[in-house]
Amino acid sequence: MKNTLLKLIVSVAFLFLLSSCKDSKLTYAYLMQHPALMQQELIRCQMVVVQDEQCSLAKRASSDFATLMTELQTNQEQFGEKIMRAQWLQATSHQEIIEIKKKIAELSQDPAQSKQLDEAKQNLQKAEVVYQTQRSNAKILIAVVGMMRME
């Protein structure tokens, strides 16, 4: 009796945990990087009457992922080069962030350089966005390869 009650409580708590996670919006990049979750989202969308924004996003991500899978199957070497290019761009943008941070540290020492400091901080924000985009692109391509290996 106690064991059954404990299982029931744990099951209900788990369901609440799952439902609370569902409230968060999934991004296109996250779906592309997590194809199993994308499939779950597509299945959920098939069960709902009214297609929401998340369903449109999941369908677009699925279509784009399928295009990348086809690209990989068609020419694996070229796809590998595409991954290397994405990783190189990620590394380059990371290096740019490091250089900008050094410049900000130098400019912070001189109060007369406040205009250049503000400009450098803006450049840092832009560089961080570029880096996150490049990082996401590389992760997506690697996720495609991961799915190919699972098939």
Tens place of pLDDT per residue across the chain (151 aa): 566 655 545 554 544 444 444 446 899 999 999 999 999 999 999 988 888 899 999 999 999 999 999 999 999 999 999 999 999 999 999 999 999 999 999 999 998 999 999 999 999 999 999 999 999 999 999 999 998 776 5
Predicted local distance difference test score (pLDDT) of residue 80? 96
Token pair of 133, please?
């985009």
Predicted local distance difference test score (pLDDT) of residue 70? 96
d(CA 110, CA 2): 70
Cβ-defined contacts of 135-142 (< 8 Å, 24+):
135/90, 136/29, 136/32, 136/33, 137/86, 137/89, 137/90, 138/83, 138/86, 138/87, 138/89, 138/90, 139/29, 139/33, 140/29, 140/32, 140/33, 140/68, 141/68, 141/79, 141/82, 141/83, 141/86, 142/83
DSSP 100-135: HHHHHHHHHT-GGGHHHHHHHHHHHHHHHHHHHHHH
Token pair of 105, please?
């540290």
Predicted local distance difference test score (pLDDT) of residue 12? 46
Kindly report the pTM of this predicted structure: 0.76
| CA distances for 13 relative to 17, 41, 47, angstroms | 6, 22, 24
Q: Which amino acid is at 69?
A: M
